[in-house]
Amino acid sequence: MTTEHPSHLAEALRRRRWLISAWPWRALAYLVTTVPIAGVLGVGLLVIGAPLLAAVNGLRQHGRPPSIALMLFLATGSLTLLALAPLVSFPVAVVERWRAGLVDGRPLASSPWPGLVARYRSAATWREVAYLFWLGGFTPVAYWVFLVLVLLDLGMISSPWLAGDANQPVVIWQPIDSTGEAVPYAIVGVLLIPVLWYAIGLLAAVQAAVARWLLAHPVDAAALREVTRSRTRLVGAYEAERRRIERDLHDGAQPRLTSLTLQLGLARLDVPEDSPASRPLAVAHDQARGLMVMLRQLVHGIRPQSLTDLGLAGAVRELADAATIPVAVHADLHDELPEIVETTAYFVVSEALGNVARHARATRADVRLTRAGGDLVVEVTDDGHGGADPARGTGLTGLADRVAAVDGRLLLSSPPGGPTVVRVELPCRR
């Protein structure tokens, strides 16, 4: 389904209105609030990292191994760091999941405290630890580089005002002697301001993407496969039960009700109109005929008989003939379709045409049935006023649920003014 507003920063960066939207300021707020967290973590890593770099540098320059005291310090510090990292990463991850909302509308689910022992044994914990080291190690370096670029740009912009000082300003690598020489640099600096705004968004988007990658709960593939199998079994059981109910109604209840209606009709012929039993008998006969109509509608709602007799294309054409507006049907179906796919596609078209008649104020509609790879593609297009929104009703939501039950996908395009296109892709696995 199409969305009018971007849901996260990476999507907003691709929009033309980036510079005049609120997203650059949200990205800047995300970066600024990162500074104290990354600074504290960076200092903690520096306590261990600086002696280690000194030891490596001494070994490289003098060829001598570090002293035993330094080696003990490094070993103790490293073990302490690894021991404390799972504990420190928990509150940091909680804060980072909350802060991600500044630049990403897709929430990151929080994780409750699992217990001390489970904390060290969980794979999600060590993903959070990896993010901790990334936030304290890489992020400060990236921020310093970006700060240098910002200071260089500010120096270029302010160079015309600094050119008259006794100390000649140096812009990038070129000393500036006069204001005239500084003006081109100032112009370039002003032109680079939008570039820096985009750089702010890019830096924040990369950081948010890493946070989402490492702090999102990993998908349990085995559990996901079991859920998929379970849903397939449930859909299969539902279809079997639906066919049983349809068969019982069609072969059992419907013939008996037909026979009852016929017997009541014959009884009415034998009873004089002035008889006291004539009126109740007429009422019973009318009620029986009404029940027959209702039963036919129930059987039709379970699986339309036209699907069995005419196939999907013929049943859809029958729906089009019964519509209140002209509907053109284009069907390119040559292979046999699974029964559940046919039934789902039929009700998709029925519901979509019902929505067109009730809400769209359209003058015509088109239904297209095609095969694309292993999928059945159903498209319903109308020339109405558009603006269809699943949030304003249950029709489209129920349609999406019906499609999802068979692992299908529903896409909606309905800009204001139209046209509205409902596209459904149904996998045809047998």
Convert the pLDDT of each residue in 378-392 to its tens digit: 999 988 888 777 666
- The label of the residue with tokens 């510079």 reads 19
Task: Kindly state the average pLDDT of the residues 334-340.
Answer: 81
Same domain, 181 and 88: yes
Which structural domain range is residue 28 located in? 9-216
Q: Which of 233, 267, 299 is the last residue of a domain?
A: 299
Per-position DSSP letters for 349-413, written without gaps between them: HHHHHHHIIIII--S-EEEEEEEETTEEEEEEEE-S-----GGG-SHHHHHHHHHHTTT-EEEEE
pLDDT above 70 for 394 = no
pLDDT at residue 1 in the model: 38
Question: DSSP 3-state assignment of 275?
Answer: coil
Average pLDDT across the chain, whole number: 77
Q: Is residue 4 part of a domain?
A: no
pTM over 0.85: no
297 — pLDDT class (breaks 50, 70, 90): low
Same domain, 334 and 364: yes
Q: Is residue 39 part of a domain?
A: yes
Q: Is residue 1 part of a domain?
A: no
Instruction: Write out pLDDT tens, residues 120-145.
Output: 888 888 888 889 889 988 899 999 99
Task: Please report, rounded to a whole number, the percentage of residues in the chain having pLDDT higher than 90.
Answer: 10
Output the CA–CA distances (angstroms, integers) from residue 51 to 68, 78, 139, 396, in the order listed.
13, 11, 21, 63
Same domain, 54 and 183: yes
Q: Is residue 3 part of a domain?
A: no
Same domain, 320 and 356: yes
Q: How far apart are CA 242 and CA 136, in angstroms?
A: 59
pLDDT above 60 for 346 = yes
75 — pLDDT class (breaks 50, 70, 90): low
- Domain count of the fold of the chain: 3
Same domain, 49 and 194: yes
Same domain, 250 and 168: no
First to last CA, the chain: 28
Q: Is residue 274 part of a domain?
A: yes
Same domain, 208 and 74: yes
